[in-house]
């Protein structure tokens, strides 16, 4: 799966386009592309009045505007919040600050929630390494 499939790029909402950009980047990354491989998950993302449904279908990822099917997990947040999470901001902090809501709606949403969060973040070192890096910065080291 090399990129997120959408029906017609020009007729796709900007939320879907933004999510596609983030996921496309990760699907090109050799490490990140394995995160959701062979897994099936339906994700609904809501941002104000826009909705996008992401279909992770084993080796294929699709995105469609609107609410489709029964989502396994729902994410609600403004575009700036989703952007900041894609760039490494803590989803936990965003949830605690009520800037984002993550609602597993079926067992798969719970099971794959962490993987999904990894896919929503742009490719970088694995998360445990990033935690180490962050701890280093807090000690005053330059990035």
Partner 1 sequence: MTRQPPAAVLREEEKAFLVSLESIVGKEFVASDPATRYIYSQDLTENEPHWPFGVVMPSTAEEVQRIVLEANRFRCPLVPFAYGLNMGGLAIPGQDAVVVDLKRMKSILEVNEEDLYMLVEPGVTFGMIRAHLDEHHPGFRYTYPLAPPQTSALSNALMDGLNNMSMRHGAMSEWLNGLEAVLPTGELVRVGSCAIVDSWHGRAPLPDLAGLFLGWQGATGIVTKGALQIWPAPRVRKRFFLAAYDARTAYRIMLRLCRKDIFDDLACVSWPLGKMLFGARGPLAFCPGEPSLFVYGDLYAESEAHREIKEQIMREALVQARREGGNFEEPMDVDDLIQINPGYAKLAEYPTTLDFLLDYGPGGMTWVGSYGPGSTWAEGVEACSDILDREGFPPILVARPMKGGHFWVLRFILHFERPDPRDRERTRRTLGLIADRLLDLHYIPYKPASWAVEKIRERDRFGVFELMERMKACLDPKGILNPGRWGL
Chain residues that interact with partner 1, rule: CB under 8 A? 8-15, 17-18, 20-22, 25, 48-51, 65, 78-80, 83-84, 86-87, 122
Minimum CB separation from partner 1 for residue 91, in Å?
Answer: 16
- How far apart, in whole angstroms, are the C-alpha atoms of residue 8 and residue 70? 23
- The nearer residue to partner 1, 111 or 117, going by C-beta atoms, is 117
Q: What angle do CA 48, 52, 56 make, to 5 degrees?
A: 145
Minimum CB separation from partner 1 for residue 80, in Å?
Answer: 4
Minimum CB separation from partner 1 for residue 65, in Å?
Answer: 6
- Paired with 75 in beta bridges are 45, 102
What is the residue-wise DSSP string for 75-119? EEE-HHHHHHHHTT--HHHHHHTTSEEEEE-SHHHHHSHHHHHHH
Minimum CB separation from partner 1 for residue 6, in Å?
Answer: 9
8 Å CB contact between 18 and 1: no
Minimum CB separation from partner 1 for residue 99, in Å?
Answer: 9
Short-list 29, 21, 22, CA closest to 1: 29
- Paired with 58 in beta bridges are 39
């Amino acid at each position: 799966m090399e990129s997120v499939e959408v029906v017609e790029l020009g007729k796709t909402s900007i939320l879907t386009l933004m999510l596609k950009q983030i996921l496309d980047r990760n699907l090109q990354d050799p490490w990140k592309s394995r995160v959701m491989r062979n897994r099936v998950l339906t994700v609904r993302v809501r941002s104000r009045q826009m909705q996008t449904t992401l279909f992770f279908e084993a080796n294929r990822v699709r995105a469609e505007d609107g609410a489709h099917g029964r989502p396994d997990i729902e994410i609600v947040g403004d575009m700036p919040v989703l952007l900041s999470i894609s760039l490494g901001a803590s989803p936990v902090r965003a949830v605690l600050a009520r800037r984002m809501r993550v609602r597993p709606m079926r067992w798969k949403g719970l099971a794959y929630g962490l993987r999904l969060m990894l896919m929503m973040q742009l490719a970088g070192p694995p998360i445990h390494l990033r935690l180490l890096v962050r701890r280093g910065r807090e000690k005053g080291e330059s990035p």
